[in-house]
Amino acid sequence: MSDLFTSAEQAAAPIGPGHFIAVVGPSGAGKDTLIALARAGCGPEVLFPRRVVTRAASAYEDNDTLTPQAFDEALARGAFALNWGAHGLRYGLPVAINDAIRAGRSVVINVSRAVLPAIRKTYAHVTVVLITAPPDVLAARLAARKRPSDGSLDERLHRTVSDADVAADVTISNVGPAEQHGRELLEVIRRG
């Protein structure tokens, strides 16, 4: 189970009027790929912030990287709107997303399902998009990327994301042309 850390701001009224679009799903589902495709069809009213992670960025995801010590220092300075731990790593969302949402913009970001309750509590308008794929597709994608920080392929494949865990508003089964599924995500963003 992931450790979850949230900002003190969550005790205040939910942040709006903008929209938080939380993209979740199992490893290998293609979340970052579909986000990148959808991003190409969006204007400046939609923010696609980079997560801060205690792992180097790779061809499969677009993160800012901090060492664990630098992450702790950034956390102490109030640099994160939300942050959590998963898979032995730390993840943070930049505090600037709160200003974007207050200004009426939409924010689209790949997050852990463990942080969804905090997101729903913190933001007034939230849409959760579950991106998934069959186990054989996930296995092939994870094996192809060979990222050492992914840990055990078997553990990642047997971790489940159920509808009860996620309470998804929209589900995209990412099988077939990624461009088609990127357009599906784009439509969700535009409805935001």
Question: pLDDT confidence of 37, banded at 50, 70, 90?
Answer: very high
Q: Is 14 annotated as a binding residue?
A: no
Compute the C-alpha angle 174/175/176, nearest 5°. Answer: 120
Write down the pLDDT at residue 10.
47
Domain range holding 25? 14-191
Write down the pLDDT at residue 108.
98
Q: Does residue 114 lie within any of the structural domains?
A: yes
Q: Does residue 98 lie within any of the structural domains?
A: yes
The number of C-alpha atoms within 13 Å of 114 and in the hemisphere containing its C-beta is: 18
pLDDT, one tens digit per residue, over 5-32 is: 555 444 578 999 999 999 999 888 999 9
Q: Is 31 annotated as a binding residue?
A: yes
Q: Is 29 annotated as a binding residue?
A: yes
**pLDDT higher at 117 or 60:** 117
CATH number of the domain within which 126 lies: 3.40.50.300
Alpha-carbon distance 110 to 27, whole Å? 11
Average pLDDT, the chain: 85
Q: Is 182 annotated as a binding residue?
A: no
Q: Is 151 annotated as a binding residue?
A: no
> What is the total count of domains within the chain?
1
pLDDT, one tens digit per residue, over 93-130 is: 999 999 999 999 999 999 999 899 999 999 999 999 99
Please, are residues 143 and 31 in contact by the beta-carbon 8 Å criterion? Answer: no
